[in-house]
Each structure stands twice: as structure tokens, then as C-alpha cells.
Amino acid sequence: MDDADSLRAWIARAEDQVQHLAEAAEKAQRDLIEGRRQLMLLYERLAAVTNAPVPVSGQGMARARSTRERVQSDAEAILKEHGVPMHINQLLAEFVRRGLPLPGRGTPTNIVVHLTASDRFSRKGRGTYGLAEWDRPSHSASPPSPTSSGEMADAATDRATGLPGRQARGS
């Protein structure tokens, strides 16, 4: 086998593994829903037997964080640790380095979609994001100044519209 054939074989095995894991995750999600339903029925039965309201414990009933909440929380932690705005490719690399789950297909764009949906983040330049709290005068880190022609064009567009790139799209 040459390198391409070896890679194709590895890809096929990885795809099979991902498919198997996705099926297992779906089954686990169904089992979790059924377990929560049974738990609620037991609480209701206890309330009927005791003829008194029964407080429902949060254990077992907690809602899992959404992908958006998880990505935003992870990105916020990374940015706070670094203390300066980061290019989206650096953020993606940090997600991978830390073993954090990547949203969607795992591209930088998938992370950007989640960052731009929150007012906790702001676009500092082309492909560069930081925490919105850093926009306040009290934060010592200043956003990087545009250096490439693309970044200058983005900055000019932002100035012309009076809005940062993210907000210009109606976010």
C-alpha cells in the first residue's frame, strides 16, 4: 500500500468509529430522556403517596450546556488566560491543544459563528476576536492595529458603517 491507500484506510476506520460513537451518543441521549421521565414519575408517585409536595432535586435533572454555551465558555476561558485578542486560527489551535470538543465540522468558521452570537466577544480585526470587556478603557490590552490591506479594508468598512463587523450584520 502506498501512503494514499493507507490514509484512505485510516479515514475509513475513523469514519466507522465516528459513526459508531454517534449512534452510541444518540442511544445515550434516549436513555437519559427515559431516565429523567422515570425519575419524574417516581417524584409524582411519592407526592401522591405522601399527599404532600416533594421537592425535585436538581441531580439527574440538570440540563446539559448547549454547544453554543460550551464554545463561548471555552473561548472566554482561553482568551482570559492569554489576556489578549487572538486570531481565530489560534483559538482553534488552542481548542485542539486542550482537547476541547469542536463545534460543527471543526473549522474556524464554526467557532466564529458561536462567538459572534454573543455580546461577550468583539471583533478586533480581520479574524481576530477578544473579550468585549476589553473594549472598556480599564483593560490594558489594546486590540492589534490593522496591518494587512484586508484588515485595513475591514477597519475602513467598520468606520464607514459606524459598527464593528459583527454588529454590522445585525447581531
The pLDDT tens digits of the residues spanning 17-41 come to 988 888 888 888 788 878 888 888 8
Of 30, 103, 21, 110, nearest to 70 (Cα)? 103
Q: Please list, in sequence order, all residues whose beta carbon lies within 8 angstroms of the beta carbon of residue 139, skipping any fewer than 6 positions away.
A: 133
Q: Helices (DSSP H) in the chain: which residue ranges? A: 3-50, 67-82, 88-98, 108-116, 149-161, 165-168
Q: Record the pTM.
A: 0.50
Specify which residues 145 forms β-bridges with. none
Does 168 score more than 90 pLDDT? no
| Confidence class for position 155, pLDDT limits 50, 70, 90 | very low
The pLDDT tens digits of the residues spanning 107-146 come to 999 999 999 999 999 999 999 999 999 987 765 544 444 4
Q: What pLDDT is recorded for position 124?
A: 93
CA distance 130 to 142: 10
